[in-house]
Amino acid sequence: MQSILITGAASGIGAASARIFQARGWRVGLLDMNGEALQRLASELGEAWWRVLDVTDAQAVRDAVGDFADSCDGRLRLLFNCAGVLRFGRFEDIPLEDHGRLLAINVQGLLNCCHAAYPFLKATPGAQVLNMGSASGLYGVPEMATYSASKFAVRGLTEALELEWRKHGIRVADLMPPFVRTPMVTGQSYEPPVLRRLGMRLGAEDIAEAAWRQANSGGVHRPIGALFKALYWSGQVSPPALNRWVMAWLSRD
């Protein structure tokens, strides 16, 4: 049986992905800090494997990944690094500790999971790591500066590991959606201009379907949504100054 381990699985994109993969015959492992929501989801899915986990705790990550892999005969077909946090606001108005927490979860947490999963991925034919990237990893977004920086890191790590781990038969890719209707976005107390202009055209289920397609296909970056796909591909050929102008225009007050 194919196996997937999902971080940030208790709600939003993680939960939607768990439902899709489980419904299509995969063994699903769920990791999240929200134990109550995690237990509800596991029960909904028929007592799926789950564990309360802080992805910034490297030893706890090693233990959880190892235990799930052991329940799958030492193999792991897909690691979906979906855990992440977001904070809108002007850089100087956000407490420094909040900037640090965002980087710890979005970047260090992902590193912890990839490092812990490596031996089990290597032992699994067709194994893959799927990272939760973002449209904000294409060009830095005002009033999302640290989140955007974290997604640049995710993009760079994805590209590097895709090349480095290719010799081990491990594919590495990321999903790059724009704003998605999830509690992480809708629960914010402030809405930056770029969000007001672009809106939220995608739901968690749209991203989960993209995760399913990526798990069964190649490629490194998967931009999601017609508008962002157009921006992404135009950004690959347009001068950096033009990309900067577009972002400045979208982010104007």
Domain boundaries, the chain: 3-250
Question: What pLDDT was estimated at residue 199?
Answer: 67
Q: Is the predicted pLDDT of residue 231 greater than 90, yes or no?
A: no
Band of the pLDDT at 197, cuts 50, 70, 90?
Answer: low
Q: Is the predicted pLDDT of residue 15 greater than 80, yes or no?
A: yes
Tell me the CB-side half-sphere exposure of residue 70, using CA atoms within 13 A. Answer: 7
> Per-residue b/e over 163-202, b at no fewer than 16 CB within 10 Å?
eebeeeebbbbbbbbbbbbbebeeeeeeebebbeebeebb
Band of the pLDDT at 242, cuts 50, 70, 90?
Answer: low
Question: What pLDDT was estimated at residue 74?
Answer: 97
What average pLDDT score do residues 118-128 get? 98
Active-site positions read 147
Name the superfamily (CATH) of residues 3-250.
Answer: NAD(P)-binding Rossmann-like Domain (3.40.50.720)
pTM: 0.89
Helix axes 204-215, 12-23, angle to 10 degrees: 50
